[in-house]
Amino acid sequence: MAVLGEVTAGRFSDRYRGARYILILVHGTWAKDEPWTQEGSFFRRFFEKYDGVVFYRFRWSGRNSLRDRNIAGKRLARNARALGLKCPDVTMFIIAHSHGGNAAFLALKDAQLASRIGGVVCFNTPFIHGRSRNLGDQGAGGVIAAAVVAVLVLLSWTRGQEFSPWSWRNLEILFAVSCITVPLLKKGAEKSARVLEMLDLPAAQRVFLITRTGDEASVALKIVYAVGRAIAWVWVQLGDFQRKTYIKATIAFLIVWGLFMIVDRYWFPGTRLYLALLPFIAPVVLAPVLMAPLALLLLLTIALQAAMGTDMAWLTLHLELTAEDTPEGKFTFRRFGFKAFGPLELLHSSTYHDETVLKEVAAWLFGAGPDVASKPPRDNA
């Protein structure tokens, strides 16, 4: 019969002295009281079948920010180390859901804990990967400036006014925005380097990653990333085109336009030969016109990447963030098919009370036991 109970830092019950395994349960975002971690849940009743199992329910803020997950990781490392000292003969496993998996990996940056943990199981964890974002020569400042121009144009149109970039009011707005954004962008560039270090997760010795086909959180994050990257690519191409050819093309256009005007005026009046120039000059004229609304759309799209961490939202102009099913390193990976447990059940939260899933988890954790799954998971090196 399994040994049950809760462990809190600094206070350990005698009930844990006979334990063989400690399962450290880590909830995900906005889920401090997640039912699956609590006594009496399907998850815990399933593992009660295994002799000598103890549960440690680790609670953290659950806020969707890298800072909170980092703090949670440090607390988890401290508590788990203390737990290991009190129970030196017990094998400890971390079982985490969603962003709780990122907190668990951050905890494993503690070398002492990493050597003590027997393995990590992650349910539907979106592992955040980051790299520097390429926004061309215009950079983040150019995106913000173009987006502000787009907003001013829209405001002018809604009021039935003609937009003038040289009006004192618009110049004052642009100056105020630049005074605010320039220091923020400089600070963001400095912080981005530190964030990339935090996103560099350690390679754990034993990792079992479990995902569900159609996981809403994973699908949404990947769509936002793909759309944002596509728009950023168009922005860079337009910027490169404008930088490389705009001045030359404009000069050529004015020269040829003048020649056509002379021909139209003195030799072939009324023929409007200069209209033949429009297909060639249209891209040059449209490039700066398109960049303003494109910048606004780009800002809105990459701002949605705040779903990966609200404190990283203002850094997405510097960082290209993506959520993947796997971290770096070696791991065991298993993707389960679409299976809903009710009309309001999220697939993102369905794995930890799916008996098929838990059987494979038990087989991976303990190697043997009641109702061990017959189909082994796939190992990835």
In this prediction, residues 249-271 reach a mean pLDDT of 65
Query: 323, 308 in Cβ contact below 8 A?
Result: yes
Query: 24, 80 in Cβ contact below 8 A?
Result: yes
For residue 127, give the nearest of 298, 321, 373 by alpha carbon. Answer: 321
Model confidence pLDDT, tens digit, residues 218-242: 888 888 888 888 888 888 887 777 6
Query: 107, 167 in Cβ contact below 8 A?
Result: no
Which of 154-158, 165-169, 227-231 tops mean pLDDT? 227-231
Q: Which residue has the higher pLDDT, 35 or 143?
A: 35
What is 99-127 written as a DSSP string? THHHHHHHHTTSHHHHHHEEEEEEES--E
Task: Lowest mean pLDDT of 33-47, 241-255, 290-304, 361-375, name the range.
Answer: 361-375
Return the residue matching tokens 């993506």: 322
Q: Which residue has the higher pLDDT, 347 or 301?
A: 347
Average pLDDT value for the chain: 80
In this prediction, residues 301-312 reach a mean pLDDT of 77
Report the number of secondary-structure helices (H) and strands (E) in the chain. 9, 9
Distance, in Å, from the CA atom of 348 to the CA atom of 31, rounded to the nearest integer, reads: 13
Query: 198, 110 in Cβ contact below 8 A?
Result: no
Correct CATH for 14-123+350-380 of 3.30.1330.10, 2.102.10.10, 3.40.50.1820, 3.40.50.300: 3.40.50.1820
Question: Which amino acid does the sequence have at 256?
Answer: V
Does the pLDDT at position 13 exceed 70? no
8 pairs with which residues across the strands? 11
State the first-to-last Cα distance of the chain, in angstroms, to the nearest integer: 36
Q: HSE-up of 17 (CA within 13 Å, CB side)?
A: 4
Query: 21, 90 in Cβ contact below 8 A?
Result: yes
What phi and psi values does residue 378 have, to the nearest 5 degrees? -90, 135
Task: Lowest mean pLDDT of 6-20, 44-58, 149-163, 352-366, name the range.
Answer: 6-20
Confidence at residue 113, expressed as pLDDT on a 0 to 100 scale: 94
Query: 324, 129 in Cβ contact below 8 A?
Result: yes
323 pairs with which residues across the strands? 128
Distance, in Å, from the CA atom of 76 to the CA atom of 245, rounded to the nearest integer, reads: 56
Model confidence pLDDT, tens digit, residues 265-289: 666 555 555 555 555 555 555 666 6
Furthest-apart CA atoms within the chain: distance in Å: 106
Q: Where are the alpha helices (DSSP H) in 50-167?
A: 66-86, 100-107, 111-116, 139-158
Query: 309, 127 in Cβ contact below 8 A?
Result: no
Confidence at residue 237, expressed as pLDDT on a 0 to 100 scale: 82
Query: 242, 288 in Cβ contact below 8 A?
Result: yes
Which of 50-59, 274-283, 319-328, 360-369 tops mean pLDDT? 50-59
Q: pTM for this one?
A: 0.80
In this prediction, residues 242-260 reach a mean pLDDT of 68
Domain boundaries, the chain: 14-123+350-380, 127-199+221-324
What phi and psi values does residue 22 have, to the nearest 5 degrees? -120, 120
Does the pLDDT at position 376 exceed 80? no
Model confidence pLDDT, tens digit, residues 62-96: 999 999 999 999 999 999 999 998 888 999 999 99
Query: 25, 352 in Cβ contact below 8 A?
Result: no
Confidence at residue 302, expressed as pLDDT on a 0 to 100 scale: 73
- pLDDT band at residue 345, thresholds of 50, 70 and 90? confident
Confidence at residue 4, expressed as pLDDT on a 0 to 100 scale: 34
Model confidence pLDDT, tens digit, residues 90-135: 999 999 999 999 999 999 999 999 999 999 999 999 999 888 888 8
